Copies of this chain bind each other. A is one copy, B any other.
């Protein structure tokens, strides 16, 4: 079999983020769970948008952000996700292609509009997300291409895909193709509420398919209904060969057959916006994995990419991550 053309193929919701600042009182008044992602319908997205302050628009989507980050590291990335043939769909398509990610999913005509996420950023830098899935909801209508999956060393799936039933089916289909082609499967648990909605299915899927798992502390504890991070880390060691567990300012813990290794968070001058921090952590880690780098180097790349994204608004890197990594002597 020939060498795969891509380092990583990401599959996820194709979303344009609409980011605005707000205070904690606004989240409370709107009944929004701080730090989480909530799915909302067409009417609610219009209503909430009307209540929000002035915003900026940027391409988003968890796995899509990770693929943009991977490309910024100089990795070969591909993405599958569904937009509509509208202005936001063209924004999403432009941004992911222009950073160098292969993206060929046809835009859908005459259906729901491109997915958008109202991201509310509080003064502490925390982001609270409200997603209208729109055209993303029906991923799986022919978009999952076995050849594209075989063409990447690692298949990367976002847990958010588990919410819409059609996308969930596409998710399983893609993972089966990857396994059949001898490729690795990576999964991000995305959000602890998402984990709570699908705990048993996720556990079963991790045990049967997942080679690399990404989760933050809340998510991994939700997966095992664990009282402590330590108990959850012990549990994942028996269920998955490699897990990268992020703990915010405390850094991350890489759990593998070699035991647990702590990776410090990279210090930042000012936390501006956490949007995309987990996605960019995954980008750095996956780049290192695809290139056969050590777990310590994968962790360092991951922490560096997360720090870059925390220092500005939005979930896509502003600086070229390959140059940043070279300057820090993480990559030569």
Contact = CB atoms under 8 A, between A and B. Distances in A.
A68 B57 CA distance: 17
5 contacts: A49-B94, A53-B99, A55-B95, A56-B314, A87-B87
Contacts of A87: 86-88, 113
Interface of A: 18, 49-50, 52-59, 68, 86-88, 91, 94-96, 98-99, 113, 314, 316
Contacts of A88: 87
A303 to B, nearest CB: 23
A51 to B, nearest CB: 8
Contacts of A68: 54
Nearest to A86: B87
Contacts of A54: 59, 68, 94-96, 98-99, 316
Contact of A52 (B55, B56, B86, B98): B98
A314 B55 CA distance: 11
* CB-based closest 7 A-B pairs: A57-B57, A87-B87, A54-B95, A56-B58, A54-B99, A53-B98, A54-B98
For A57, A95, A316, the residue with the greatest tally of chain B CB atoms inside 10 Å of its CB is: A57
A170 B166 CA distance: 52
A56 B53 contact: no
Contacts of A316: 54
- Which of A52, A53, A56, A68 has the most B CB atoms < 10 Å from its CB? A56
